[in-house]
Structure 1
Amino acid sequence: MAAMRALYDAFNLMYALSLILFFSDLIQPRRFVNRTALVLLFVAFGLESGLLLMRLRALGYVAVYTRMDVLFLVSWLLMLITLVLDTFFRIGLALFFVNVLGYALVAFDTFGRQGKFLFPKHQLDLLVLHVSLAVISYVCFAFAFVYSFMYLIQDRVLRAKRWNQLYFRLPALERLDTFAFRSVALGVPVLLVAMVLGVIWGKLVLNRWILMDPKPLATLIVWLMYAVYLGFRIRSGWGGRQLAWYNMFCALAVLLNFAVVNDYSNFHHAF
């Protein structure tokens, strides 16, 4: 059981990292990031295959007699098919989107087993994972805030034509804008996964959908605000200064969500 648990944790980590890197490559294509994501996906596939073999050996039969076992097998087949197709035909974005679905199935499968497979205390595991991912996303948004703040300072120095020590110590505007963008591009998918896991936790543990609670609603608004930032950064003609101000406004929304909205939530006020 301990070996299976460790293998499953490694599989989830590799799978999640792969999808995050694929998302980053989607926002800003880079061959190294794409190749790294693909390697991690192959590693995740190998780990999941090992889990299925261990499960088969332990039970003596292929586990397909419960809904959760079927979901796990479906996710494995989705990964297998997309990897084979991408090896021969380079299916591009389909590889990412299909495996996002596969990972969602894995997450629901993991925490819906009621302790019969890997997680005898699945409620705690899921809650810790949900909170951990939310914290990681907030760290990413904090970096984005700092980079945007530095951008505004450097922009002000340049417009005032003050070639002082501050100007030389701050990175170039383009680099600051890129760093802020990459921080948000990482934080957005991580926060999305955290929200999905939070909803799953509410259904499995509280036996109700928690979408109408103030906290999930506010978090969804924050996520949409950052998604709008990514949209403007990629598609529109907004300049760096406007985006920097908007990024700081989004950071204020994160702060209000964390410090104020929690008090009005039915189950987040303890955190």
Structure 2
Amino acid sequence: MFEIYMTKLHELTVVVYAFSVLLYFWDFIHHNRKANRIAFWLLAFVWVLQTVFLLLYMVKTGRFPVLTIFEGLYFYAWVLITLSLGINHLLRMDFIVFFTNILGFIVLAIHTFAPVQYESHLIGQKLISELLLIHITMAILSYGAFSLSFVFSLLYLIQYDLLKRKKWGKRLLRLADLQQLESLSFMLAVIGVPILILSLILGLQWAFIKVPGLTWYDSKVLGSFVVLMAYSIYLYLRIVKNFAGKSLALWNIASFLIVLINFFLFGQLSSFHFWYS
């Protein structure tokens, strides 16, 4: 009965989310402020539905829901919506919400239409610990920060192209200026990197305690360090080498693609993260 109720809640969430993204797209094309306001409130309703689901799931399982790829995707989508709503409230940047929630909707759709996994693997259940929960939660939060950093860099490239082609208009005015987009992208990367470092430290500590014969060449372990290296290089280029502009934005976007590969592909190939699949 609980699974049926959760399925219906997922379906309602996806439908409302789809309408919200479509209205944001309509506003992006036609500059319709009414559509923008409706899209915002629909998105807020989606956030409420997702939060209710998370709370109900926590009550049912008695733990924080991040221990399977199914749970991780849902929490990741929730983080994206939460951050986008917060940024929209603080900065009033509608297009940030639109592009972030295209990504969020894709993640939620993958989660919803993937095979249902309400229970973790039996071995995973035995290895649950607070350390593991904190490790996974912090990793997903860092991915949320990198996601928004990616969106800002993507908007930077769009704004850069509009200015280069001298396409003046309302769309150009509604995008933030290049310096602000670059600064926000950098700030979110600065937030995401230390969170990821702490997550990796906690994950390795947990592994040494719980997983005898830890293999360092595991795809997920290597992938996580490649992500950290990519964003560390991004920060190095920005802070030490004073790189800026289009080249830095492209590096940031490439780094986020590594995040996606690590999250979706390496997690499935990993023998070390067997509980997270």
1-structure distance, mates of 2:191, 2:255: 15
1:244 corresponds to which of 224, 242, 249 = 249
Shift of 1:226: 0.2
- Residues 199, 211 of structure 1: 8 Å contact kept: no
Deviation sequence 1:229-271 (CA, Å, 0-9, x none): 0000012142311111111100100000111111211132442
TM-score w.r.t. the length of structure 2 is: 0.52
Alignment of 1:1-271 (within 5 A): 123-271=128-276
1:26 counterpart residue number:
none
Tell me the secondary structure at the aligned position of residue 129 of structure 2. Answer: helix
- Residues 127, 210 of structure 2: 8 Å contact kept: no
Shift of 1:212: 2.6
Aligned residue identity for 1:183: L
Percent identity of paired positions between Structure 1 and Structure 2: 34
The root-mean-square deviation of aligned C-alpha atoms, in Å, is: 1.6
Tell me the secondary structure at the aligned position of residue 143 of structure 1. Answer: helix
- Residues 143, 259 of structure 2: 8 Å contact kept: yes
Deviation sequence 1:200-229 (CA, Å, 0-9, x none): 111111134343321111110110000000
Tell me the secondary structure at the aligned position of residue 248 of structure 1. Answer: helix
Shift of 1:122: 9.1
Aligned residue identity for 1:230: L
Aligned residue identity for 2:216: L
Deviation sequence 1:162-208 (CA, Å, 0-9, x none): 11111100001000000000100010010011111111111111134
2-structure distance, mates of 1:165, 1:130: 43
Deviation sequence 1:38-62 (CA, Å, 0-9, x none): xxxxxxxxxxxxxxxxxxxxxxxxx
TM-score w.r.t. the length of structure 1 is: 0.53
Higher relative contact order (CA 8 A, sep 6+): 2
1-structure distance, mates of 2:198, 2:216: 15
2-structure distance, mates of 1:200, 1:187: 20
Aligned residues: 151
- Residues 145, 189 of structure 2: 8 Å contact kept: yes
1-structure distance, mates of 2:251, 2:237: 10
